[in-house]
Amino acid sequence: QPTEDYAVGVHLIGAPSVGEAPALLSQADSQHPVYGWYPTTQWAASECVDDVYSLPVPAGAVPAEVLLFMYTHDETGFHNSQQVRLAIP
Protein backbone atom coordinates (compact mmCIF):
# COMPACT_ATOMS: atom_id res chain seq x y z
CA GLN A 1 0.00 0.00 0.00
CA PRO A 2 1.45 3.41 -0.94
CA THR A 3 2.49 5.59 1.98
CA GLU A 4 2.43 8.82 -0.05
CA ASP A 5 -0.19 10.36 -2.30
CA TYR A 6 1.03 10.37 -5.89
CA ALA A 7 -0.21 12.60 -8.68
CA VAL A 8 -0.46 11.30 -12.26
CA GLY A 9 1.06 12.80 -15.39
CA VAL A 10 0.04 11.74 -18.89
CA HIS A 11 1.69 13.67 -21.73
CA LEU A 12 1.30 13.35 -25.50
CA ILE A 13 4.64 14.01 -27.20
CA GLY A 14 4.90 15.00 -30.85
CA ALA A 15 7.34 13.76 -33.43
CA PRO A 16 10.29 16.18 -33.50
CA SER A 17 10.94 18.34 -36.53
CA VAL A 18 14.45 18.26 -37.99
CA GLY A 19 16.82 19.98 -35.56
CA GLU A 20 14.16 20.46 -32.88
CA ALA A 21 13.28 18.72 -29.64
CA PRO A 22 10.02 16.75 -29.36
CA ALA A 23 7.06 18.96 -28.45
CA LEU A 24 4.46 18.52 -25.73
CA LEU A 25 1.19 18.36 -27.70
CA SER A 26 -1.24 17.90 -24.80
CA GLN A 27 -1.28 16.72 -21.23
CA ALA A 28 -3.70 15.38 -18.64
CA ASP A 29 -2.30 15.68 -15.12
CA SER A 30 -4.28 14.89 -11.99
CA GLN A 31 -3.57 15.43 -8.29
CA HIS A 32 -4.97 11.95 -7.59
CA PRO A 33 -5.87 9.03 -9.88
CA VAL A 34 -9.46 8.21 -10.89
CA TYR A 35 -10.60 11.70 -11.89
CA GLY A 36 -8.83 13.15 -8.85
CA TRP A 37 -10.98 11.21 -6.38
CA TYR A 38 -8.87 8.22 -5.29
CA PRO A 39 -5.61 9.13 -3.48
CA THR A 40 -2.97 6.43 -3.67
CA THR A 41 -2.76 6.23 0.15
CA GLN A 42 -6.28 4.77 0.08
CA TRP A 43 -5.35 1.93 -2.29
CA ALA A 44 -5.30 -1.59 -0.88
CA ALA A 45 -2.22 -3.77 -1.32
CA SER A 46 -2.27 -5.50 -4.76
CA GLU A 47 -5.32 -3.46 -5.85
CA CYS A 48 -5.61 -2.81 -9.58
CA VAL A 49 -6.90 0.72 -10.23
CA ASP A 50 -8.31 1.78 -13.62
CA ASP A 51 -7.54 5.38 -14.55
CA VAL A 52 -8.64 6.94 -17.87
CA TYR A 53 -7.30 10.08 -19.52
CA SER A 54 -8.08 11.85 -22.82
CA LEU A 55 -5.32 13.50 -24.80
CA PRO A 56 -6.58 15.71 -27.63
CA VAL A 57 -4.33 15.89 -30.68
CA PRO A 58 -3.95 19.42 -32.09
CA ALA A 59 -4.81 19.82 -35.78
CA GLY A 60 -1.83 19.01 -37.98
CA ALA A 61 0.23 17.55 -35.14
CA VAL A 62 1.99 14.20 -35.46
CA PRO A 63 1.97 12.35 -32.13
CA ALA A 64 4.95 10.06 -31.51
CA GLU A 65 4.52 8.73 -27.97
CA VAL A 66 2.62 8.92 -24.71
CA LEU A 67 4.66 9.57 -21.57
CA LEU A 68 3.21 8.18 -18.31
CA PHE A 69 4.54 8.91 -14.83
CA MET A 70 3.52 9.41 -11.24
CA TYR A 71 4.99 12.08 -9.02
CA THR A 72 4.84 13.71 -5.62
CA HIS A 73 5.26 17.37 -4.88
CA ASP A 74 6.15 19.31 -1.78
CA GLU A 75 7.78 22.61 -0.80
CA THR A 76 11.03 21.54 -2.54
CA GLY A 77 9.35 20.86 -5.89
CA PHE A 78 8.22 17.93 -8.02
CA HIS A 79 9.66 14.42 -7.63
CA ASN A 80 8.97 12.20 -10.65
CA SER A 81 8.86 8.43 -10.56
CA GLN A 82 10.28 6.34 -13.37
CA GLN A 83 8.61 7.25 -16.67
CA VAL A 84 6.97 4.86 -19.09
CA ARG A 85 7.06 5.77 -22.79
CA LEU A 86 4.52 4.20 -25.12
CA ALA A 87 5.31 4.61 -28.82
CA ILE A 88 2.48 5.49 -31.19
CA PRO A 89 2.88 3.51 -34.43
pTM: 0.84
Q: Is 6 exposed, middle or buried (0-12, 13-18, 19+ CB in 10 A)?
A: buried
The whole-number pLDDT of residue 39 equals: 96
pLDDT for 6: 93
**Proportion of the chain above pLDDT 70, given as a percent:** 100
d(CA 56, CA 59): 9
> For the chain, how long is the longest CA-to-CA vector?
46
pLDDT at position 73 over 90: no
